[in-house]
Amino acid sequence: MKVAIYPGTFDPITNGHLDIIKRSCKFVDKLIISISDNSKKKILFSTNERVEIIKKVIIDENIKNVEVESFSGLLMDYASKRNANIIIRGLRAISDFEYEFQMTGMNYKLNSKIETVFLMSSDNYQLISSKLIKEISSLNGDVSKFVPKEVEKRLNKK
């Protein structure tokens, strides 16, 4: 069974993330969207809110072979506990690649049984980032083209 983990902070989940999720589901038996609760990033939504939002989005999008949960600690320890054999990562630009290349190398040294698979962002989503979404939303900009409806609703409440 091919079990993949798609880790991230997802604060908030964007249409770019959703694209990676849908495409990943085509080649794995189960995809676990794993929300990091120990991020050093400035977080807008709590871990529980992010889990709740993503679960709602997955239902709205009718995606079947996905689980959503949070984790803390080392990704490779968590992946082993979940019997995952693949880590999914999305790449938007060269700057993403440098960071991901380094992280993948270290993860491989921690557990060489788990492979990392990179998916390039689709053209429509290469410029989208959660950080920019939060900034646009905080300035009352329209983010409806960049995020699922549930996220737009939650951003408007914040």
Q: Per-residue DSSP letters for 31-99?
A: EEEEEESS-SS--SS-HHHHHHHHHHHHHHTT--SEEEEEE-S-HHHHHHHTT--EEEEEE-SHHHHHH
Q: Give the chain's mean pLDDT.
A: 93
Residues annotated catalytic, as ranges: 17, 41, 92, 130
Query: Which tokens is 137 given?
Result: 């939303």
pLDDT at 11: 95
Closest residue by Cα to residue 79 from 38, 119, 30 = 30
Asked if pLDDT for residue 40 goes beyond 80, the answer is no
Q: What is the pLDDT of residue 39?
A: 67
User: What CATH class does 3-157 carry?
Assistant: alpha beta
Give the pLDDT band (50/70/90) at residue 38. Answer: confident
Domain ranges of the chain: 3-157
> What pLDDT digit, counting tens, does each position of 62-107 carry?
999 999 999 999 999 999 999 999 999 999 877 778 888 899 999 9
